[in-house]
Amino acid sequence: MDLQLKGRVAVVTGGSKGIGLAVVRTLVEEGAFVVAVSRGGSEGLGALEGPNLVHVAGDLMEEGFAEEVVARAVGAFGGLDVLVNNAGGPAGGVVLPRGAFLDGGDREWRTIFEFNLFAVLRLTRVALPYLMERGGSVVNVSSALARQPATNNYEYAAAKAALSHVAKGLAEEFGPRGVRVNTVSPGVVRTNWWTDEGGVADMFAGAMGVDRDTLLDETLPGMLRLSTGRFVEPQEIADAVVLLASPRSGSTNGSDFVVDGGLLKEM
């Protein structure tokens, strides 16, 4: 299926690995011009190097960086059609997963909200005038945790819930101005955060007395009652993101697509 993205200009945050890298790769394969934003490069991003890709390195929490990102997109490719707000997770020395409510304080909450909500809103605010010029779209990557409160990761889940909420309002305000705003909410995704040496999988595996592969392939899917029996792959999230970004989803606005392997059980 032709997603009608050839020649369109996209900004993707968190674009050097995991979900973001899969989104960048898919957009490039569809013929889009892509500005990948991340703190640093990666082997995977380097493999995509070419005339359709620009990498902008920096911290989305730094003042003025949002303006720099949009300026690079407009300067390199002449405009902006798609904004994918994918960057999220831990930042500023805050480690995820987080524990019980009393284990954290204001610093953790402020840092997580700054990265997962306010940095997203800042970049969106800068991008919207350009998106309105060309009838563009915004896709925010939220989380299944935005819908499912738990007794841990309070700050992250609350920030993602706020992001999903704001996206719905933006869709209502800017839909009549030609800009669609949608959300993708992943469940448990097999990213570097889990699989890197010394990462979360190793931490959980040690605590549970199993090896990393058993934990990822059997233990956690069973504990989380994933009806597919496995973690979500980054490409599966990217496919949903790129479809929502595409003109082929021209009547989809204000929606939240859950891609979670059956994690959420409620209606």
At residue 120's C-alpha, the angle toward residues 118 and 121, to 5°, is 65
CA-based nearest residue to 142, from 170, 102, 177:
170
Residue 131 amino acid letter:
L
Cβ contacts of 70 within 8 Å, gap of 6 or more: 11, 80, 123, 126, 127, 130
Catalytic residue among 156, 194, 204, 257: 156
Length of the chain: 267
Q: Is 130 designated active site? A: no
Sheet holding 180-186, edge to edge: 53-57, 33-38, 9-13, 82-85, 137-141, 180-186, 256-259
Neighbours of 66 (CB within 10 A): 24
What are the phi and psi torsion angles at 85 (to 5°)? -90, 90
Task: For residues 8 and 33, give the distance between their C-alpha atoms in angstroms, rounded to a whole number.
Answer: 6
Q: Which residues are catalytic?
A: 156
